[in-house]
Structure 1
């Protein structure tokens, strides 16, 4: 019985996270708030020609470390193949995104609000 209660709680938690993500996306869309998902930011950093990339091999795994300075924003990304392990985005004044795959429960497609940087991203 304890296992079925845990399964129920996990499903409820997952459903609430999905509902929260969808509501957040809808609000940002309606209010025209500049936002992007962790996945979109990661794709941007990986594909940007100015990104600095370092690859390291540990115990048969290839980890990639990306850094990008773009306007007032600093991006740092760690991946293991296509899996996003860590993403940090900082503006001059504060942290915009701090994603860790081992702790964050939100979907990679949940929108993240960006500060108004007067057109600089």
Structure 2
């Protein structure tokens, strides 16, 4: 019985995730948007003069945390050396992009749609 419940919960979670992704795509379609990869967006965040950078050494590893507020958007990037661990983009307390290396690694180089207002200069 537990296996059936777990499978059902997994399917429900996957369906909800697909629905959220679909809604984000439709919002961007209606407001206009373009494609960019997580890697390109991470480089954009790192190279902005307004970006705050904080390096921390934890358990012998160097972690870098980037924070940027620009044009109404808040960007957060966490890296271990050159590896992107986490990237988030928020507008008015709404998640526009939420990348986690442990769950989204296959999407690192895939183009994602973002609103034109978030395009790199």
For the criterion TM > 0.5, the same-fold answer is yes
Q: Secondary structure at the match of 2:115?
A: coil
Local SS of the residue matching 1:74: strand
Alignment root-mean-square deviation, CA: 2.4
In structure 2, the partner of 1:27 is none
1:115 aligned to 2:115? Answer: yes
**Residue-by-residue CA offset, 1:73-98 (whole Å, 9 max, x unaligned):** 11000000100000001112621110
Q: 2:78, 2:118 → 1: CA distance?
A: 28
User: C-alpha distance in 1, partners of 2:40/2:70?
Assistant: 15
Large movers: runs of 4+ above 3 Å:
116-121
Work out the CA distance in 1 between the residues paired with 2:76 and 2:118.
22
The 2-side partners of 1:83 and 1:119 are apart by 22
Partner of 1:57: 57
Q: Describe the SS at the equivalent of 2:49.
A: coil
**2:59 matched to 1:44?**
no
Query: How many positions carry a matched residue from both structures?
Result: 90
SS at match of 1:103: helix
Equivalent residue, structure 2, for 1:84: 84
Higher helix share: 2
Q: Say if 1:93 and 1:117 are closer, same or farther in 2 by CA, change over 3 A.
A: farther
Going from structure 1 to structure 2, the CA distance change for 1:89 and 1:62 (only over 3 Å counts) comes to same
More displaced stretch, 36-45 vs 105-114: 105-114
Contact 1:72-1:117 within 8 A present in 2 as well:
no
The answer to whether the 8 Å contact 1:68/1:76 transfers is: yes
Q: TM-score, normalised by structure 1?
A: 0.66
64-73 or 111-120: bigger deviation = 111-120
